[in-house]
Amino acid sequence: MSAQPIPFGKSAHGLRDSQTFSSSSSVQLPRTLARPEFIEVSPVAIAAAAPELVNVPLDYIRRRLRSEAPQMMAGLSSLAPSHVPSSLPKSHLPPSLSIPLRAPPSRATPTYPTHVLAVSSSKSSHDTQAIMVPVHSLVLAAQCARLPELRTPNTAVSHTLHLPVIPMSVPSPAAFTVLRSFMYDHRLDGVLKALFPVPPSFLANLSHSAVRATMSSGPALHQLSLYLCEASGHNLQTLTTYTAHVKDLWQDMVVLGLFDSELWDTLDLAWDIVLGAMNLAVVMRQ
């Protein structure tokens, strides 16, 4: 899906509302990243992942997932790393993986993952590898409206976990790992840190309200863009790479149908920051 310039409700960093940013004759960036039409997650997908939650309100399910995040993350940490390959050839994916369990590093009682996603790029036919990402099916079913059903297997847990391997393709597997972390911990600072350098003081206790307040403050946006510009050494190529990180995250969010408002506002903030940094780098070169 390609980005299209759309009207934007404020001006910042020297760009008018509906302008595209151009760092050269070959680079055209939209002023904003368009949000797709909202789609609610499928009750059928919820039922496949957790039959006991049929007819349970979705808000309750999401609140429960947030409260149980420590147990689920403990379950992920319980998988013996040596038995979870970081990647496998797309053409030779096993139907399942048998993974020995170890004691989790936290005190939380582990809730074990249900599947391993074999995530590959939908943009590159030359990418022959799929990264292997353990997940809990309910976490994805409750937050991603465009994913197929992931039926939770009835697997007895002993000292080894047997997880089905599910092939999946997204525009950016690297961006998917960022989104997977967010779907568990809902940390906005983690999302921003994965995209480009951000002042540690800004990331401390970052909340949704702080994100929204920053987006409405020209001086605050300017300071964050200036920090990024200086962190990149005023290098447009480096800043273009950071821009690609944000756009990759946006494309994956669209494909997954991930409509979390906190995440979308953070994405908008990241786009404002990186466009402002590129604008400053261009001005400093003149």
- Say yes or no: 270 and 204 in one domain: yes
Strand duo 160-170 + 115-121: pairing: parallel
Q: Structure pTM?
A: 0.88
Q: CB within 8 A of 286, min separation 6: which ones?
A: none
Q: pLDDT tens digits, residue range 73-99?
A: 999 999 988 889 999 999 999 999 999
Q: pLDDT tens digits, residue range 162-209?
A: 999 999 999 999 999 999 999 999 999 999 999 999 999 999 989 999
- Other Cβ atoms less than 10 A from the Cβ of 156: the count is 6
- Say yes or no: 151 and 246 in one domain: no
Place of tokens 């993986």: 97
CA–CA dist 238, 229 (Å, integer): 9
Cα 199 to Cα 114, 128, 233, 270, distances in angstroms: 37, 37, 15, 13
pLDDT band at 156 (very low <50, low <70, confident <90, very high): low
Count of structural domains, the chain: 2
Task: Copy the structure tokens of residue 129.
Answer: 């590898």
Closest C-alpha among 226, 276, 217, 285 to residue 246: 276
146 domain-assigned: yes
- Say yes or no: 137 and 101 in one domain: yes
19 domain-assigned: no
- Say yes or no: 130 and 107 in one domain: yes
Q: pLDDT tens digits, residue range 204-248?
A: 989 999 999 999 999 999 999 999 999 999 999 999 999 999 999
Residue 24 has pLDDT above 80, yes or no: no
Helix/strand/coil (H/E/C) assignment for every residue in the chain: CCCCCCCCCCCECCECCCCCEEEECCEEECCCCCCCCCCCCCHHHHHHHCHHHCCCCHHHHHHHHHHCHHHHHHHHHCECHHHCCCEEEHHHCCCEEEEEECCCCCCCCCCCCCEEEEEEECCCCCCCEEEEEEECHHHHHCCECCCCCCCCCCCCCCCEEEEEEEEEEECCHHHHHHHHHHHHHCCHHHHHHHHCCCCHHHHCCCCHHHHHHHHCCHHHHHHHHHHHHHHCCCCHHHHHHHHHHHHHHHHHHHHHCECCHHHHHHHHHHHHHHHHHHHHHHHHHC
246 domain-assigned: yes
Share of the chain above pLDDT 70, in %: 89
Question: Contact, 56 vs 126, CB < 8 A?
Answer: no
Closest C-alpha among 230, 207, 203, 226 to residue 272: 226
268 domain-assigned: yes
- Say yes or no: 136 and 214 in one domain: no
- Say yes or no: 188 and 73 in one domain: no
- Say yes or no: 193 and 162 in one domain: no
Of 114, 146, 170, the last residue of a domain is 170
Question: Contact, 265 vs 216, CB < 8 A?
Answer: no
CA–CA dist 145, 130 (Å, integer): 22
pLDDT at 11: 33
Residue 108 has pLDDT above 90, yes or no: no
Sign, CA torsion 177/131/271/258? negative
- Say yes or no: 56 and 137 in one domain: yes
In degrees rounded to 5, what are phi and psi of residue 202?
-75, -35
CA–CA dist 46, 66 (Å, integer): 16
pLDDT band at 155 (very low <50, low <70, confident <90, very high): low
CA–CA dist 122, 169 (Å, integer): 5
Residue 26 has pLDDT above 70, yes or no: no
- Say yes or no: 161 and 280 in one domain: no
pLDDT band at 28 (very low <50, low <70, confident <90, very high): confident
- Say yes or no: 166 and 186 in one domain: no
CA–CA dist 149, 152 (Å, integer): 9
Share of the chain above pLDDT 90, in %: 76
Q: Which domain holds residue 49?
A: 43-170
